[in-house]
A and B are shown apart, each in its own frame.
Chain A
Amino acid sequence: MTSGVLNLVLKRLAIAVVTLLIVLFAVFFATSMLPGDTASILLGQAATPEAVAGLREAMHLNDPAILRFLRWLLGLLHGDLGTSYANEMPVTALIGGRFVNTMELAGITTLLSVPLALTLGITAAMLRGSLYDRTVTILAIGVISVPEFMVATLAVLLFAVYLKWLPALSSVNEAHTLTDLVRIYAMPVITLTFVISAQMIRMTRAAVIETLSTPYVEMALLKGASRGRMVLKHALPNALGPIVNAVALSLSYLVGGVIIVETIFNYPGIAKLMVDAVATRDLPLIQSCAMIFCLGYLLLITIADIIAIMSNPRLR
């Protein structure tokens, strides 16, 4: 790696850090805009003004916003996410187990959707214009154009109502055998896989088609290389950068997807936790969950950008 690429990558990382700070700032301020005073909400309507004033003092609510923001940031660095308003538990304890659940869901979905989407995307590009290609493209556009909850409800209708193969709700605690486990994860994973794959198929197909139209692929065609060799040997290695980029970008759609999927299937992950926290206006919990999601999303986007930089031979 030459210093040019290194510089670009470092610059991209610096941008990611600045972005993260702005995002944290936005999350903090959006949540501190809440109407009503936190202290009086916590103490209820019967609280005396003295008690409210005391709690405000104790919670440092009288300090300027910027100071509270810095204190919150410092707490984050120490791994202290604050205490939930709703049930007085440390946020870290609430999030811990659920974080693992969400990562499991995301991990299994990634393992399934990446090979599936790449195969469909690359073959569709190879057979461009065929009935197969058109079917895949139309299906992908269809899935992208509808809300995630519709994909989920259709999956429930198909697999749980008509075919009766799977239960409609997940409950991780009841998993005892491997079959139980498969039955629990099946529905959320199927839904998420559909949502993520649709994006990935479109981007992969576009990337391969673009490479297939370059002069060197035409050269390979002219010198008599077979179709398979032309795609696998000449086009794919050059499309690899854009494809990996497409994968990383599509995975960032997981963030939006899990919020809906965890809610509809009652899956005990952090997205469900966050939606519940929004309903009860539990600030520290909302802030922490939002931060985790933004972090994951930023990480994926930054990886996508760095891969795009590294895969560009003109920068090497």
Chain B
Amino acid sequence: MTMARVAASRRSLLGHSYNLVGVVASLVILAWTLIAIFAPTIIPHSIGDIVDDDYFGPMRQGLWLGSDYLGRDMLSRVLMGARYTVGISLAAVCIACFSGVVLGMIAAVTGGWLDTCLSRFLDAMNSIPSKLFGLVVVAAVGSSIPALILTLAVIYIPGAYRFARALAVNINTMDFMTVARVRGESTAYLIGSEILPNIMRPVLADFGLRFVFIVLLLSGLSFLGLGLQPPLADWGALVRENIGGLPFAAPAVIVPSLAIASLTISVNLLIDNLPQKIRDRDA
């Protein structure tokens, strides 16, 4: 989300000719962000209220997205679901990227045994398939919201670390790094003022990609019934609880899937359409 806003503002500031796909993608992301923030005030019905006599009701006036397996308003449930899907994923990706990038920069600047141990350990963690990792950790610590955020963050720290370290190692060989070292600057100064500004943009793109991975993993876990627990429901859990409507092609099972797809595809398209231009302008 942050990435989207930063990228959009950069573009308008520099008056770059805008790309239609990129604009549409950022609008979708902006819309979901606003919905996530204001969901409780804009939902037409309370998410627990049974408003339809029929279950898996079709789309019609008043119940724009139909009703779910208990006859609850699907529109309200999807809007509230945005809160959990976007909120949890965003919190997790912030923790993952912050820890990964800081560790990666420290490893690159310090080198030696710290770098070797950290890299070896995190590479090993990286070779546990993410969904499997999620299953095992959820079995161990349960699926409360803080536990889910931490689990998702821990799973994606190794990837963020690897990415940031590879970038930081290149910057580390530059002359200005040698100069800064000779000046006797501390590690904190080196990573914060010399390395970070130089790797910021690729790191932001990586942030976006990792956000997509986390949304997909969270939805997958919730779909398996191991993510968010009822009565709370994110988009993956909404698909799960309404899966019984699949044989009737009920909107209740299709709409949450589409919501996930619209968010993840938009972030992917935004990233695909931005970095090239930023790089070209700087070159």
Q: Residues of A with Cβ closer than 8 Å to B?
A: 18-19, 22-23, 26-27, 30-31, 33-35, 141-142, 144-150, 153-154, 156-157, 160-162, 168, 252, 255-256, 259-260, 263-264, 274-275, 277-279, 281, 286, 290, 293-294, 297-298, 301
CB contact under 8 A between A157 and B249, given known A259-B135, A278-B139, A298-B127: yes
Is B120 in contact with chain A by the CB < 8 A criterion?
yes
Q: How far is the CB of A289 from chain B (nearest CB, A)?
A: 9
Residues of A within 8 A of B247 (CB): 160-161, 168
Among B123, B125, B129, B260, max chain A CB count under 10 A is at B129
Contact check, B220 vs A260: say whether CB atoms are below 8 A apart.
yes
Show 13 A/B contacts (Cβ-Cβ < 8 Å), sorted by A: A26-B124, A30-B137, A35-B142, A141-B272, A146-B261, A146-B264, A147-B236, A149-B220, A149-B239, A157-B249, A260-B220, A297-B127, A297-B129
Beyond the given A145-B212, A286-B136, A293-B132, please list 10 additional residue pairs across the A-B interface where CB-CB is below 8 A.
A23-B127, A27-B136, A33-B140, A141-B269, A145-B261, A149-B236, A157-B249, A256-B130, A259-B132, A293-B129
A145: chain B residues at CB < 8 Å are 212, 261, 264-265, 268
Mark contacts of B22-59 with chain A using CB atoms, 8 A cut-off: 1 yes-contact digit, 0 otherwise.
Answer: 00000000000000000000000000000000000000
Are B223's CB and A290's CB within 8 A?
Answer: no
Task: Assess the A259–B260 pair: CB atoms within 8 A.
Answer: no
Q: Which 9 A-B pairs have the closest CB atoms?
A: A22-B124, A256-B131, A255-B129, A278-B139, A150-B257, A19-B124, A145-B264, A33-B140, A145-B265
User: A275 to B225, alpha carbons, bound, how many Å?
Assistant: 9
Name the one of A153, A156, A260, A301 contacting B224, with C-beta atoms under 8 angstroms: A260
Q: Which of B229-249 contact A (CB under 8 A)?
A: 236, 239, 243, 246-249
Q: How far is the CA of A36 from the CA of B24 in the complex (A)?
A: 49
Q: Once A and B bind, how many residue pairs between them come within 8 Å at the CB atom?
A: 138
Q: Are A301 and B140 in contact (CB under 8 A)?
A: no
The 8 Å CB contact of B121, one of A22, A30, A274, is A22
Q: Give the shortest distance, in Å, between B103 (CB) and chain A (any CB).
A: 17
Assess whether B239 is in contact with A294, with CB atoms less than 8 Å apart: no
Structural contact, A26 and B139, CB atoms closer than 8 A: no
A297 vs chain B, min Cβ distance (A): 5
CA of A141 to CA of B270, assembled, Å: 13
Given A146-B261, A148-B220, A160-B247, are A18 and B124 also a contact pair (CB < 8 Å)?
yes
What is the interface residue range for chain B against chain A? Answer: 35 or more
Q: Report B's interface with A, CB cutoff 8 A.
A: 120-121, 123-125, 127-132, 135-142, 212, 216, 219-220, 223-226, 236, 239, 243, 246-249, 253-254, 257, 260-261, 264-265, 268-269, 272
Q: In chain B, what residue has the closest Cβ to A19?
A: B124
Instruction: Please name all residues of chain A whose beta carbon is closer than 8 Å to the beta carbon of B129 when the two chains form the complex.
Output: 252, 255-256, 293-294, 297
**Is B246 in contact with A147, judged by CB distance below 8 angstroms?**
no
Q: Is the CB of B141 within 8 A of A33?
A: yes
Given A145-B264, A160-B247, A255-B131: A153 in contact with B124 (beta carbons within 8 A)? no
Q: Which of A22, A147, A259, A301: most chain B Cβ within 10 A?
A: A147
Chain A residue with the shortest CB-CB distance to B216: A147
* Minimum CB–CB distance for B240 against chain A, Å: 8
B121, B248, B254, B260: the one contacting A147 at CB < 8 Å is B260
The answer on a CB contact under 8 Å between B219 and A147 is yes
Could you say which of A31, A156, A294 contacts B132, with CB atoms under 8 Å apart? A294
Q: How far is the CA of A33 from the CA of B223 in the complex (A)?
A: 24
When distances are taken between beta carbons in the complex, the residues of chain A under 8 Å from B123 are 19
Nearest to B120 among chain A residues (CB) is A18
B268, A278: Cβ atoms under 8 Å?
no
Inter-subunit contact B135/A294 (CB<8 Å): no
Query: In the complex the two chains form, is B132's CB within 8 Å of A153's CB?
Result: no
Residue of B nearest to A253 (CB): B129
Inside 8 A of A154's CB, which chain B residues have their CB? Answer: 257
Minimum CB–CB distance from B143 to chain A (whole Å) comes to 10
Bound complex: CA of A99 vs CA of B221, how far in Å? 22
With a cutoff of 8 Å between Cβ atoms, the chain B residues found around residue A144 in the complex are: 268
CA distance A34 to B142 in the complex (A): 9
Contact partner of A142 among B125, B224, B243, B265, CB < 8 A?
B265
Q: How far is the CA of A248 from the CA of B262 in the complex (A)?
A: 30
A26, B125: Cβ atoms under 8 Å?
Answer: yes
Most buried by A among B131, B216, B225, B226: B131
* CA–CA, A277 and B247, complex, Å: 28
Give A26 to B141 CA distance when docked, in angstroms. Answer: 14
**Residues of B with C-beta under 8 A to A277:** 139
Considering the complex, give the chain A residue whose CB is closest to the CB of B126. A19
Q: Which of B212, B226, B246 contacts A275 (CB 8 A)?
A: B226
Measured CA separation A270–B7 after assembly (Å): 44
Residue of A nearest to B247 (CB): A161
A18 CA to B223 CA, complexed, in Å: 33
How near does chain A come to B281, taking the closest CB pair, in angstroms? 24
Q: Which residues of A contact B243 (CB under 8 A)?
A: 153, 264
Q: How far is the CA of A302 from the CA of B127 in the complex (A)?
A: 10
Q: Identify the interface centre among B124, B127, B136, B254: most chain A CB within 10 Å of its CB.
A: B136
